[in-house]
Structure 1
């Protein structure tokens, strides 16, 4: 694999991890979004990644987005303007601790791929300096 190949593969990883970070941030931003019991709750987003297999090494790409349960969880809040006759509203079934764990994993993956790009760039620059001398 060439230096440019390493940069290319790491850049595919950066893209997937950025999409994962976007999905987690959407989930966290909407975890307190109430809806009426007649509507679907916010559906959590989960990134599906798949391998790109090529002769040059490949990489990874986003294959799609899986959505969580639209059923959500029912919470008794009779003072909420969206509450039904029984006093219930629907909230998304998003667990903050799970989302924060995913956020940390996606952040570390993004950082690791960014480090690969930096190191490959430094290697390429060092190779150019050797050629000049």
Structure 2
């Protein structure tokens, strides 16, 4: 039963990590038009300290790339030259990240369900 437990822990850790990634991707999309907003990245790390070698989302990092300068002299944040710093979020990149995270989440969910089903089938066989 230890293999089933390890598989369940691994897939559930992947579900948690992808859920955190999706949360930050949605924050990035929501703040794409917020001046001065920096894109958030969530790196994944292998948690070798756990007994099941699970994956976890690391500390959120801000994207160090430059903010986009936009010319709009009527904007309240515009400087004396008429420019202000917008966000560094590219919505197309965020949509691609969201799709990738969604597919990874679904793969982990399917692995979890199949492991649970195999465990249940094994228990049924042992009862007979």
Fold similarity call, TM over 0.5: yes
1:92-103 to structure 2, matched below 5 A, reads 92-103=87-98
Gaps of 5+ in 2: none
Q: Who is 1:74 aligned against?
A: 69
Q: Who is 1:26 aligned against?
A: 27
1:27-106 to structure 2, matched below 5 A, reads 27-34=28-35, 41-53=36-48, 56-69=51-64, 71-106=66-101
Q: Which has the higher strand share?
A: 1
- Which 4+ residue blocks in structure 1 deviate beyond 3 angstroms? 54-57
Q: Is the 2:41–2:63 contact (alpha carbons within 8 Å) kept by the matching residues of 1?
A: yes
RMSD: 1.8
Q: Is the 2:17–2:44 contact (alpha carbons within 8 Å) kept by the matching residues of 1?
A: yes
CA distance in 2, matches of 1:128, 1:54: 30
> CA, structure 1 residues 17+79, in 2 after alignment: closer, same or farther (shift >3 Å)?
same
1:85-104 CA distance string (max 9 Å, x none): 33222211111121111111
Aligned with 1:122 (options 87, 92, 117): 117
CA shift at 1:70, angstroms? Answer: 7.3
Gaps of 5+ in 1: 35-40
Matched, 1:108 2:103: yes
Normalized against structure 1, the TM-score is what? 0.85
Normalized against structure 2, the TM-score is what? 0.88
